[in-house]
Structure 1
């Protein structure tokens, strides 16, 4: 008999809301090359970039959806998260990033983030867009390691995001194998989550 899949409780999208109460997020780069120029400078100072991102799942119409941040200016989608500080613990760093991206401006209203297991690890061999779910064997000095974790949401939550960002729920079937619209990392998440059982918790 097959072993039971690890369960993840999910709650209705209607249980969650968000406010655009934070100041707009100011982009640090103005062209496609700028982020990689900045990455080069940081690499020379701190070495390989280490980043963490969180997967937050809800359900809508009996189907799992992923909560993503969408830049209003260029309609690009991202998981909430970001770069760790040098020497920072991955779990604590992800909690800090989730609070920065989704948490309230009031310290007493910040969600109690419950970080689960690591779902995937991606590697950036060079200062360019391309990332791989493994480190190519000929690469001895990768430029970035991105770790993606499951985040277990509470039953209800009110998130707060910058004014120029939207929090959207994207169905898994839209992400699946849709590299053209969502990129390699996001479009691979449905496969990576296939080892989980999503339990839809319905409250009367």
Structure 2
């Protein structure tokens, strides 16, 4: 059984920084942006971090409550620029690939692991996103916008969800008739240190949600987050 060290919520100091606004504030806006991305780049890869604390001795998952409208795990998307900057124009190594259509009648090989170590690029993007959402600013200057580059212990990938169409529905498997999903979401466990200062954008709240609250509660948290208790059940939280 895999082990995750979990520390009390009160060990973490939470403060705020400047707001971070997301244009994808509704499902309609998200699908429109996804379609525009897909037509140029193909399948979008999104990465999210599962950070776990304990409250009253019970595991809780840290979620961002954005504008009091919806919940999300901290994370982001792998951009085409990040693939090119790290691995060159094709972003592949000839290993495990997924054909992702460009929306123009063409297709290109999209490498799920990028051939440079397991999930190396995804973990790099997740680290950058965790800094964006939760790291302190580099200075107390009023004009400061750069965040600190913090050390995040990103563990194993525990779930993969596929979006076959430009719709809200996602599946924990790739449907047999789909060769080019519109989006792939990958969840990683992130081991928090015993203590840390977490700085959250002021238009978001960082909330600790117990596993029993998430369990089968898709109406409030969505199917992906409602499945976290099952996904995490193989871990020993000590």
Normalising to structure 1: TM-score of the pair?
0.90
Query: Is 1:11 aligned to residue 7 of structure 2?
Result: yes
What is the SS of the residue equivalent to 1:33? helix
- The residue number in structure 2 matching 1:198 is 237
CA drift of 1:9 comes to 0.5
Q: Which runs of 5+ in 2 are unaligned?
A: 87-120, 139-145
User: Which of 72, 76, 79 is matched with 2:67 structurally?
Assistant: 72
Q: Which runs of 5+ in 1 are unaligned?
A: 200-204
- The residue number in structure 2 matching 1:121 is 160
Equivalent residues, number: 193
What is the SS of the residue equivalent to 2:207? strand
CA contact (8 A) 1:114 1:153 kept: yes
CA distance in 2 between partners of 1:29 and 1:113 (Å): 26
- The residue number in structure 1 matching 2:131 is 99
CA drift of 1:27 comes to 3.0
CA drift of 1:73 comes to 3.7
Q: Which aligned segments of 4 or more residues in structure 1 are displaced greater than 6 angstroms?
A: none
Q: Deviations over 1:124-155 (max 9, x none)?
A: 01111111111111111100011100000000
CA distance in 2 between partners of 1:65 and 1:90 (Å): 24
- The residue number in structure 1 matching 2:78 is 84
Task: Summarize the alignment of residues 180-199 of structure 1 with structure 2, pairs less than 5 Å apart.
Answer: 180-199=219-238
- The residue number in structure 1 matching 2:97 is none
Give the alignment's Cα RMSD to 1 decimal.
1.5
CA drift of 1:26 comes to 1.9
CA contact (8 A) 1:111 1:157 kept: no
CA drift of 1:29 comes to 4.2
- The residue number in structure 2 matching 1:45 is 40
CA distance in 1 between partners of 2:124 and 2:24 (Å): 27
Normalising to structure 2: TM-score of the pair?
0.77
